[in-house]
Amino acid sequence: MPAQWRMVRSAPATGARNMAVDATLLEAARRRAFGVWRTYAWATPTVSFGRHEAVRGRFDADTLARAGLDAVRRPTGGRALLHAAEVTYSVALPVADNIPWRSVYQAVNAVVLEALHSLDVNASLVPEEGAPLLRPEGPVCFDQPAPGEIVVLHAGVRAKLVGSAVWRDRGAYLQHGSILLQDEQGRLSEATIGHVTTPPPAASLATCLAVTPSWDAVATALEQALAASVARAPALAEECIAVPEDDLLDPDAIAQHDARFCDPRWLWRR
């Protein structure tokens, strides 16, 4: 993890805009000495598909429209999830080629876990050993946890609370995460072809706590946990600064990436 960070809170935006911003931050990360922690929301309920997820035959434009959902394909991996009533974050940072991506993944998830503990959520990490690896064409994102993900005890079973997806590209790393405030993942079944069986209820902050924290409270907890992690790092010139989104973005790069994420050929590529 870098010793220097920029923290951004973005206004709610479309799926294409959100993914274009994250792709731009990933592209810029390899030229920067700092990481960017971005927290954001979605203008409308939006299904995001993983970069390599096979979705043709499971979803189509008509079923999504009838369910009242937009859709976008992420630049990161993972499986389908519905972005609604949640706090989404992205983490873009430079990573040397000799650093294993799982080391970065573990470090990011440790920050998120610390933030959840500060909110009195009794969450833990799935052990790296003994948990099954999940393929991109499997069930939806919140159906079951993968190694290293954050879980809570829910309805008597260990249930995923935070959905995560990553992508590494030529010296840069991007991680997406979704913390559910309320569970609306069941709406995904309304958007699938043939209305497949509704997945079991997902864990959410509403099921973990007597009072559901606000979006701002969760965003603040994430930023404070990141700042605490940076302060503990044995490095020189540690800093964690909140900045406006526009300070970090190239408008031309945003436009190029936005065109890609709006393109049906990208959305329905698999």
Active site residue 262: no
SS (H, E, C) 27-85: HHHCCCCCEEEEEECECCCEEEECCCCCCECCECHHHHHHCCCEEEECCCCCCCEEECC
Mean pLDDT of the chain: 90
- Range 164-179 burial, b when 16+ CB lie within 10 A, else e: bbbbbeeebbbbbbbb
132 lies in which domain range? 4-267
What total of structural domains would you count in the chain? 1
pLDDT in tens, 122-160: 999 988 765 555 454 444 455 556 778 899 987 677 888
Separation CA 50–CA 62 (nearest Å): 20
Cα separations in angstroms, 183 against 36, 103, 104: 28, 29, 28
One DSSP character per residue, 180-214 reads ESS--GGGHHHHBTT-PPPPPPPP-HHHHSSSPPP
Closest CA to 46 of 78, 77, 14: 14
Query: 194-198, 232-236, 248-252, 260-264: which has the minimum mean pLDDT?
Result: 194-198
Of 141, 208, 240, 262, the active-site residue reads 141
The pTM score is 0.91
Looking up residue 62, the CATH number of its domain turns out to be: 3.30.930.10
